[in-house]
């Protein structure tokens, strides 16, 4: 049934992809059961025994830092009867004790097994006659976990390629969001707390929106009229240098961003109303010039890591995750980032801007959700489902980006990146193995020559 849902030759995608129960069920197995997924930020688990409850597709998982300092991603379900062992959102705990029968797990996932400590399995010696093999009944560990510049990612598939290989040269763009503005790797920190909210739309609407859709500007015309830019300027952002659609057909990632370059553009003073903030960004710019030298660099507007993590790289600077709940519902999460060592005044100005831009109360994003919800609703009918969505903008006009392995420039207004996303989606849904998934040379298929 998955055949022909995505047609890159004609640039169309079936509406079944967005509303079908069967498609949704298979996505859980074939995409969320295999791909690298965003779990959280290391700032959520700074101390031993810190935990944060996250999601991988429809599964609940617990991100922990165990007493050895190691980061784990554990399935949040007791091995005895399946009860959710952690129902708090975050905190610090020596053990997760299941409220059903009392099996207790330490933050490394093992059933507690040390003499004199809390009982890992009540009645172990009496009811179980010491015959239970506690070591093999710890919480399920996600086998692949990585800390990438402060962000934690995991995959259920032991055979998945390394995360760096999975993101390829799109790392420049993700890095631009996660690094310090002065160019230091992973130099950002997470502002405390996560916005979480339910949206009755298919999760892919959000992933597709962030991968590079400048065309949806009309969605945000009202906020552009009002003007909420970070420095108090017009529009919803300060003026940005030439953005284009940068995508990776072999990997499924992409963004609306700058082409890579080696010289840092001149500094433009923007925060005239906030002298301290202005001074900070000016100094950061000078440090960036020193730190990066003539190394390749980019700035990102927005981007998506296949399948369901997106980010704003500059204004604002955020991480968004789209957790699938059902074909027609997702839970969206939003995390805000700032330079870790920035003065409080700089962090405050950034936070206020992020909040008036992003999230369900954001003056920009509140309008996105309206579109995704009613596009989903209007696509559920049996008649509506007969007609595919049109992704033809800019087909055949992509150009390779010489500095980036497998990178293509679709131009400022293009649906190249959406085609790349759904091309990748179809590959995963076909159930290809990792050798086939990571083999280069899809580009010709994704972007057939014009005419």
What residues line the site for another protein (CB under 8 A)? 87-93, 191-201, 218-219, 221-223, 225-228, 331, 334-336, 348, 351-352, 354-356, 359-361, 363, 365-367, 369-371, 373-374
**Shortest approach of another protein to residue 238 CB, angstroms?**
16
Nearest to another protein of 161, 229 (CB atom): 229
Nearer to another protein, 237 or 253 (CB): 237
How near is the Cβ of 50 to another protein at its closest, in Å? 11
Shortest separation between residue 228's beta carbon and another protein, angstroms: 6
Q: Which is nearer to another protein, 160 or 191 (CB)?
A: 191
Nearer to another protein, 216 or 386 (CB): 216
Residue 184 CB, shortest distance to another protein, in Å, is 23
Which of 369/437 has CB closer to another protein?
369
Which residue, 222 or 283, has its beta carbon nearer to another protein? 222
- Minimum CB–partner distance for residue 221 and another protein (Å): 5
In angstroms, give the least distance from the CB of 323 to another protein.
10
* Shortest distance, position 349 Cβ to another protein, whole Å: 12
- Choice between 143 and 193, CB closer to another protein: 193
Task: Between 333 and 422, name the residue whose CB sits nearer to another protein.
Answer: 333
3-state SS record for the chain? CCCCCEECCCCEECCHHHHCHHHHHHHHHHHHCCCCEEEEEHHHHCCCCEEEEEEECCEEEEEEECCCCCEEEEECCCCCCCCCCCCCCEEECCEEECCCCCCEEECCCCECCCCCCCCCCCCCCCCCCCCCCHHHHCCCECCEEEEECCEEEEECCCCCCCHHHHHHHHHHHHHHHHCCCCCCCCCEEECCCCEEEEECCCHHHHHHHHCCCHHHHHHHHHHHHHCCCCCCCCCCCCCCCCCEEEEECCCCEEEEECCCECCCCCCCCCCCCCHHHHHHHHHHHHHHHHHHCCCCECCEEEEEECCCEEEEECCCEEEEEEEEEECCEEEEEEEEEEECCCCHHHHHHHHHHHHHHCCCCCCCHHHHHHHHHHHHHCCCCCCHHHCCEECCCCCCCCEECCCCCCCEECCCCCCHHHHHHHHHHHHHHCCCCHHHHHCCCCHHHHCCCCC
Shortest spacing between CB 353 and another protein, in angstroms: 10
């Amino acid at each position: 049934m998955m055949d022909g849902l995505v047609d890159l030759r004609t640039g169309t995608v079936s509406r079944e992809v967005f509303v079908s129960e069967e498609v949704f069920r298979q996505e859980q197995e074939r995409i969320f059961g295999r791909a690298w997924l965003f779990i959280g930020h290391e700032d959520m688990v700074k101390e031993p025994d810190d935990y944060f409850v996250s999601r991988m597709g429809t599964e609940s998982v617990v991100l922990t830092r165990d007493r050895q300092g190691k980061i784990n991603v554990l399935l949040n379900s007791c091995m005895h009867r399946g009860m959710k062992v952690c129902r708090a959102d975050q905190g610090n705990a020596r053990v997760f004790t299941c409220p059903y029968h009392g099996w207790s797990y330490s933050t490394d996932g093992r059933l507690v097994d040390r003499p004199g400590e809390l009982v890992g399995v009540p009645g172990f010696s009496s009811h179980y006659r010491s015959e239970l093999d506690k070591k093999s009944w710890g919480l399920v560990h996600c086998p692949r976990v990585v800390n990438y510049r402060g962000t934690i990612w995991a995959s259920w598939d032991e055979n998945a390629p390394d995360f760096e290989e999975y993101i390829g040269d799109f790392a420049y763009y993700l890095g631009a969001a996660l690094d310090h503005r002065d160019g230091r790797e992973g130099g950002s920190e997470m502002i405390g707390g996560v916005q979480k909210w339910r949206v009755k739309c298919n999760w892919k609407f959000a992933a597709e929106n962030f991968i590079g859709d400048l065309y949806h500007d009309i969605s945000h015309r009202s906020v552009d009229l009002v003007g909420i830019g970070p420095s108090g300027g017009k529009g919803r952002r300060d003026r940005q240098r030439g953005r284009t659609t940068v995508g990776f057909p072999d990997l499924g990632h992409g963004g609306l961003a700058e082409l890579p370059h080696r010289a840092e553009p001149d500094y433009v003073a923007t925060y005239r109303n906030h002298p301290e903030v202005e001074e900070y960004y000016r100094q950061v710019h000078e440090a960036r010039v020193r730190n990066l030298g003539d190394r390749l660099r980019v700035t990102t507007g927005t981007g998506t890591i296949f399948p369901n993590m997106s980010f704003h790289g500059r204004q604002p600077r955020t991480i968004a995750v789209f957790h699938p709940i059902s074909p027609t519902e997702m839970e969206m999460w939003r995390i805000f980032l700032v330079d870790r060592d920035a003065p409080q005044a700089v962090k405050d100005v950034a936070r206020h801007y992020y909040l008036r831009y992003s999230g369900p109360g954001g003056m920009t994003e509140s309008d996105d959700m309206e579109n995704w919800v009613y596009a989903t609703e209007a696509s559920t009918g049996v008649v509506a489902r007969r007609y595919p969505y049109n992704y033809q903008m800019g087909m055949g006009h992509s150009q390779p980006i010489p500095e980036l392995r497998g990178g293509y420039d679709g131009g400022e207004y293009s649906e190249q990146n959406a085609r790349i996303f759904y091309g990748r989606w179809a590959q995963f849904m076909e159930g290809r193995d990792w050798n086939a998934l990571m083999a280069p040379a899809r580009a010709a298929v994704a972007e057939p020559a014009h005419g």
